[in-house]
């Protein structure tokens, strides 16, 4: 049977009024689900208002005096009476709930606690609304006057719950929560919503004692977060110790990573976000830091087996703890260096190593471990630095380089030359660009970049002079890459070489127009069709021929005519003919082939072949006298003709030497109409390489001296050791100077009176 609401009491009957209010509060607290009708609701609200403003009560408190200033004080006293009566009621109500809670444990206790909490806090909101007049006036005045332990009615409900119930049951409630979480960690399904409700209730009880309108997380942190973290630590300490003892390190890493993800997700599911940092820090300490030595010991094994997924997993785990990755970076660098050295030794022979084989062996290791750094280590800068350090070591100091560091830049330049040189197997533009990018990858690690520059510039010069570049765009792209890597000065001469070639094209056009004007039609038809390249002496890495040479009359007429044209156009300039780089085509009229063969030969070879226009047989001495070539250039040219069976030699198998004679082979045959006989001889290539290295050494001496003078000019005075260090630092971008060479250069500059020795091992600059 529903309980009827008693009639509204006389506002002057204080005891009756509280009985009326208590009945209404009890009905809301116990039977809220049944609802509160509007008449009852308004009755309670009105009674609270009347109770707080009862004039009789005011008079009784003031001793029957005249109502005036004491009226305000009386209202305060009555408000306090109402507040205290409500407080007593709540204490009694919560004591009863506490007694009922003793009959529950574990999940049943959680269910009971959550049910009572929801009922109690919902009722508190209604009661707070009914007591609005008390909150707005008496409670507000008390708080404004600095009174402690006075709260609005809703907060009073929370305070009483915390003191009368929560403090007594929180330990058991939290124990039940931890059991549920452990079940979930063990793979069982639980009611996550229950834990979330518990968390929310703990958070709601965090009241700021100085400002009831604010809340803190102190209650939650002490009663929930602290025991939760302790339980988590204990659980994972036990689990990880047992799992490591029974499983491999790789399996443990998978387990640890899964557990970390689970705990992170758990926060989002039912924990408060405030616990995230502490929870993850605890899990990382137990699951990763405490086992970090075990994980690091497995790193080398995973590297050896190229287990990228497992390496990535190890990286992700150790990256999350302080200094977790430091030992791995050192091991990784040593491993890459060792792999690089082994790969070079595996693929590249000690003598006459092919540039492509060598460069590919370097790129193979870099590509492999650059991919590992990107995929497994997330491109982490420290691992990139370790990779760079390792690559720098095995690129500059491997079995091919032996004690020096100049072999790598030399071979890289030759590899680049092969890429950019036109051939039957020339790559597509896109593929060529990819290959040039790979060249720059190796170039980045080369210490002696000046060596690369010298070899590259010589090879570029030949490609330009012989018009043998596979792609002008590719040539331009390569120079742009070098400029970006080393600056304008590094590529200045290379760019000037291209400008000279363009100027030469324009010059050749002008020459043909000039020649057409001065020759009659018949002479013009008989004239040789030449192309000239005018190269600036200061920009091209080329030198005058090292042998005398008398060209045949046909060539003499042609080049003399060009000299006349050039001197008219540029008076005061002198031309030096680079016969060793010149070449041409000679048509054969002595053979029966249709169409006739065309020999592609060097100018020296043209000089030899032209001799057979006047004689059937030419002796070695005849060739030497007619061309004035030294044996160093004559012998290889004759040997090429004999090997290609263009010439017959007598005696048979005779070497190019005095007493040997040569005659045309009228039985010569070839599958190609154009026969290339302009073949570089190994002895020439070796000599050119030696000359290049000699030039490099001379240039380095000048660079060292220039750097020393530049430093001393700005500093005026400097300690000897500091000058050595500064010089080394300034030149390291181009090459690694030896300390002995720097000392020698300092002594030479002192002799030349650019520098002087001062006291205390100090040097001074002499203007």
Residue 123 located in a structural domain: yes
Q: Are residues 340 and 394 in the same domain?
A: yes
Tell me, yes or no, whether 730 lies in a domain: yes
3-state secondary structure string across 292-335: HHHHHHHHHHHHHCCCHHHHHHHHHHHCCCCCCCHHHHHHHHHH
Specify the pLDDT at position 18.
Answer: 75
Higher pLDDT, 175 or 727: 175
* Confidence band, pLDDT 50/70/90 cuts, at residue 331: very high
Q: What percent of the chain has pLDDT over 90?
A: 46
**Cβ-contact 316, 328 below 8 angstroms:** no
| Residue 677: exposure state from Cβ atoms within 10 A (0-12, 13-18, ≥19) | middle
Spatial CB neighbours of 613, under 8 Å, sequence gap ≥ 6: none
**pLDDT tens for each residue of 583-624:** 999 999 888 878 899 999 999 999 999 999 988 899 999 999
pLDDT digits (tens, 9 = 90+) for 390-439: 999 999 988 888 756 678 999 999 999 999 988 756 567 788 899 999 99
Residues 102 and 184 in one domain: yes
CA distance 660 to 619: 6
| 551 within a domain of the structure (yes/no) | no
> β-pairing, 674-676 with 598-602?
parallel
- The verdict on residue 23 lying in a domain is yes
- pLDDT score, position 209: 62
Report the CATH number that the domain containing residue 328 is assigned in CATH: 1.20.1310.10
- 3: pLDDT strictly greater than 50: no
* CA 658 to centroid of chain Cα atoms: 66
- The three-point CA angle 387-392-394 to 5° equals 95
Of 169, 188, 216, the residue at which a domain comes to its end is 216
Q: Which residue has the higher pLDDT, 521 or 13?
A: 521
CA–CA gap between residue 586 and residue 607 (Å, rounded): 11
pLDDT confidence bin for 96, thresholds 50/70/90:
very high
Could you say which of 502, 523, 555 is where a domain stops? 502
Cis upstream peptide for 689 (omega within 30°): no
CB-based contacts of 654, cutoff 8 Å, min separation 6 = 660
61 has pLDDT over 80: no
CA angle (515 as vertex; 512, 516 as ends), nearest 5 = 85
Q: Same domain for 386 and 482?
A: yes
Give the per-residue pLDDT at 282.
96
243 three-state secondary structure:
helix
Query: pLDDT, tens digit, for every residue of 183-203?
Result: 999 999 999 999 999 999 999
Strand partners, 648: 663
Nearest to 763 by CA among 751, 744, 746: 746
Mean of the pLDDT values across residues 22-42? 74
Whether pLDDT at 683 is above 60: no
- pLDDT-based confidence at residue 57 (cuts at 50, 70, 90): very low
Domain boundary among 216, 244, 264: 216
Euclidean distance between CA atoms 680 and 683, whole angstroms: 9
Query: Does a structural domain hold residue 516?
Result: no
Domain count, the chain: 5
Q: Which domain holds residue 627?
A: 582-679
Q: Given this model, what pLDDT does residue 265 score? A: 95
CATH of the domain at 730: 1.10.10.10
Tokens of 505: 């094209």
- Contact at 8 Å (CB) between 465 and 533? yes
Q: Which residue has the tokens 């197997």?
A: 425
Write down the mean pLDDT value for the chain: 86
Q: Is the pLDDT of residue 74 over 80?
A: no
Residue 240 pLDDT more than 70? yes
**270 vs 272: CA distance, rounded Å:** 7
Distances (CA, A) of 517 to 510, 513, 554, 568, 640: 11, 6, 20, 15, 40
Is a pLDDT exceeding 90 seen at residue 287?
A: yes
* CA 274 from centroid of its chain's CA atoms: 33
**pLDDT reported for residue 56:** 43
Place of tokens 């040219």: 637
| 355 has pLDDT over 70 | yes
Distance between CA atoms of residues 656 and 654, nearest Å: 7
Question: Same domain, yes or no, for 349 and 488?
Answer: yes
For residues 761 and 746, state if they share a domain.
Answer: yes
Q: Is the pLDDT confidence value at 58 over 50?
A: no
Q: What is d(CA 122, CA 100) in angstroms, rounded to the nearest whole number?
A: 20
* pLDDT recorded at residue 33: 67
More confident residue, 730 or 236: 236
Amino acid 601: pLDDT:
93
Answer yes or no: is pLDDT of 255 > 50: yes
Residue 82 and residue 58 share a domain: yes
- State what percent of residues in the chain have pLDDT above 70: 90
- Strand-by-strand arrangement of the 762-765 sheet: 717-719, 762-765, 755-758
120 plus 241 within the same structural domain: no
* Domain match, 721 and 592 both: no
Task: Answer whether residue 283 shows pLDDT above 70.
Answer: yes
pLDDT at 592: 82
548: in domain:
no
**pLDDT tens digit sequence for 440-458:** 999 999 988 888 999 999 9
Q: What pLDDT is recorded for position 75? A: 45
Mean pLDDT of 207-229: 82
Q: 360, 411 in Cβ contact below 8 A?
A: no
Tell me how far apart the alpha carbons of residues 255 and 239 are, in angstroms, rounded to a whole number.
10
Q: Cα separation of 280 and 264, whole Å?
A: 7
Residues 737-759: pLDDT tens digits?
888 888 888 888 888 888 888 88
444 within some domain: yes
84 has pLDDT over 70 = yes
DSSP 585: E
Whether residue 631 is predicted with pLDDT greater than 80 in this model: the reply is yes
H/E stretch holding 727 reads helix 720-731
């Amino acid at each position: 049977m529903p309980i009827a609401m008693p009639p509204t009491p006389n506002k002057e009957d204080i005891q009756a009024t509280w009985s009326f209010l208590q009945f209404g509060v009890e009905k809301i607290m116990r039977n809220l689900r049944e609802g509160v009708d509007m008449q009852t609701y308004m009755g309670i609200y009105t009674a609270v208002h009347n109770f707080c403003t009862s004039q009789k009560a005011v008079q009784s408190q003031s001793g029957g005096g005249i109502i005036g200033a004491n009226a305000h004080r009386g209202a305060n006293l009555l408000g306090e009476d109402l507040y205290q009566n409500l407080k007593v009621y709540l204490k009694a109500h919560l004591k009863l709930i506490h007694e009922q809670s003793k009959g529950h444990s574990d999940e049943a206790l959680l269910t009971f606690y959550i049910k009572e909490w929801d009922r109690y806090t919902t009722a508190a909101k209604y009661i707070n609304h009914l007591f609005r007049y008390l909150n707005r006036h008496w409670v507000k005045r008390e708080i404004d006057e600095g009174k402690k332990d006075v709260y609005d009615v809703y907060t009073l409900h929370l305070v009483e719950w915390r003191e009368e119930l929560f403090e007594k049951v929180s330990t058991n409630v939290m124990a039940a929560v931890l059991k549920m979480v452990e079940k979930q960690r063990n793979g069982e399904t639980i009611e996550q919503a229950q834990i979330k409700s518990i968390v929310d209730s703990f958070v709601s009880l965090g009241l700021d004692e100085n400002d009831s309108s604010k809340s803190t997380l102190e209650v939650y942190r002490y009663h929930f977060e602290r025991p939760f973290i302790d339980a988590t630590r204990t659980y994972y300490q036990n689990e990880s110790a047992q799992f490591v003892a029974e499983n491999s390190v790789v399996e443990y890493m998978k387990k640890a990573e899964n557990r970390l993800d689970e705990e992170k997700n758990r926060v989002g599911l039912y924990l408060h976000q405030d616990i995230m940092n502490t929870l993850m820090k605890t899990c990382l300490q137990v699951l990763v830091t405490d086992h970090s030595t075990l994980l690091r010991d497995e790193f080398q094994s995973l590297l050896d087996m190229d287990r990228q997924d497992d390496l990535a997993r190890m990286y992700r785990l150790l990256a999350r703890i302080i200094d977790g990755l430091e030992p791995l970076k050192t091991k990784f660098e040593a491993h890459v260096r060792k792999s690089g050295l082994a790969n070079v030794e595996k693929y590249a022979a000690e003598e006459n190593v092919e540039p492509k084989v060598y460069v590919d062996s370097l790129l193979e290791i870099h590509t492999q471990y650059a991919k590992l750094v990107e995929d497994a280590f997330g491109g982490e800068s420290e691992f990139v630095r370790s990779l760079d350090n390792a690559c720098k070591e095995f690129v500059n100091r491997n079995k091919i380089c032996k004690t020096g560091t100049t072999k790598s830049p030399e071979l890289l330049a030759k590899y680049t030359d092969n890429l950019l040189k036109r051939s039957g197997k020339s790559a597509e533009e896109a593929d060529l660009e990819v290959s040039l990018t790979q060249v720059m990858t190796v170039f980045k690690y080369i210490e002696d970049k000046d060596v690369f520059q010298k070899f590259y510039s010589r090879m570029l010069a030949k490609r330009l002079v012989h018009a043998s570049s596979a792609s002008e765009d590719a040539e331009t792209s390569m120079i742009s890459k070098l400029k970006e890597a080393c600056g304008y000065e590094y590529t200045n001469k290379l760019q000037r070489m291209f400008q000279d070639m363009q100027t030469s094209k324009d010059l050749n056009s002008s020459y043909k127009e000039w020649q057409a004007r001065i020759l009659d039609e018949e002479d013009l038809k008989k004239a040789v069709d030449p192309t000239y390249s005018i190269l600036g002496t200061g920009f091209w890495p080329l030198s005058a021929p090292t042998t005398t040479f008398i060209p045949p009359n046909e060539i003499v007429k042609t080049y003399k005519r060009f000299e006349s044209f050039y001197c008219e156009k540029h008076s005061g300039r002198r031309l030096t003919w680079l016969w060793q780089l010149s070449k041409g085509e000679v048509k054969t009229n002595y053979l029966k082939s249709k169409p006739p063969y065309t020999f592609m030969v060097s100018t020296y070879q043209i000089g030899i072949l032209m001799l057979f226009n006047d004689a059937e047989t030419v002796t070695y001495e005849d060739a030497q006298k007619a061309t004035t070539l030294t044996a160093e250039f004559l012998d290889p040219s004759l040997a090429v003709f004999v090997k290609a069976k263009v010439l017959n030699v007598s005696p048979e198998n005779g070497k190019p030497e005095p007493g040997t004679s040569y005659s045309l082979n009228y039985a010569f045959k070839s599958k190609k109409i154009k026969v290339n006989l302009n073949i570089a001889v190994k002895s020439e290539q070796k000599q050119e390489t030696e000359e290049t290295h000699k030039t490099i050494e001379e240039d380095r001496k000048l660079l060292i001296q220039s750097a020393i003078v530049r430093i001393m000019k700005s500093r005026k005075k400097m300690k000897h050791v500091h000058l050595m260090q500064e010089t080394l630092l300034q030149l390291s971008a181009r090459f690694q100077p030896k300390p002995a060479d720097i000392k020698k250069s300092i002594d030479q500059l002192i002799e030349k009176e650019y520098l002087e020795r001062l006291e205390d091992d100090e040097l001074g600059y002499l203007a």
